[in-house]
Amino acid sequence: MSKRRVLELFYDVVSPYSWLGFEIMCRYRNIWNVDVQLRPGFLGGIMNATGNSPPAMVPKKGIYMHHDLVRQAEFCEVPLKEPSDFAHVMFRKGSLSAMRFVTAVQMMHPEFVEPVSRELWVRIWSEDKDITEPESILEAAKKAGMSEDIAKKVLASISAPEVKNKLKETTDNALKYGIFGMPSIVAHINGKPQLYFGSDRFELLAHNLGEKWYGPVPQKSRL
């Protein structure tokens, strides 16, 4: 078997398209000959550093996103629903504390990074709940299978310099790859990093990896 290619997935739980890309990537990591490495970063930092603007800030794009997310969620079989106050969730509350928590989880208990990330997405993008308050974050951690003691210890560390620096480092590394939004996948193929932005580039990624694309729900397509 050829050497497993490394795929770095940069994401932020404030991004609904990141959730779609995250779930698809998790479904394929045991189908393709790849090593998927989760890279929780801070989308706000990416947007500010690159001068990018959220697509929803453009009225026509915002209207399109509303319909597109419904179709994409159904297509990808992800229980994504738009929150009742989209602008407040995206632009006022943000995700800094949540992404610091995910970063701390990765540093202290990496086995919980995937389920914790997923449960934070579920709260904000399926259940229309908060992901910024401590009790909200702890509830997501509980549903992800973390014990209360461990979750509280991790939460207590999110203001520590090493956690803040780690999140900044991941975000800075994303910028070095040329990332301007999330989700973004950096595929290391033949010793060179290739950037794929968005949750709709998996077919092209599969082609360049020499792998097969079975759609967003490969378990069904391969039956």
Q: Which domains occur in the chain, in start order?
A: 5-221 (3.40.30.10)
- Rounded alpha-carbon distances, angstroms, from residue 160 to 11, 45, 64, 167: 21, 18, 40, 11
pLDDT tens string 110-119? 999 999 999 9
* Rounded CA separation 95/98 (Å): 5
Q: Does residue 157 contact residue 178 with C-beta atoms inside 8 Å?
A: no
pLDDT at 88: 66
pLDDT tens string 143-181? 999 999 999 999 999 999 999 999 999 999 999 999 999
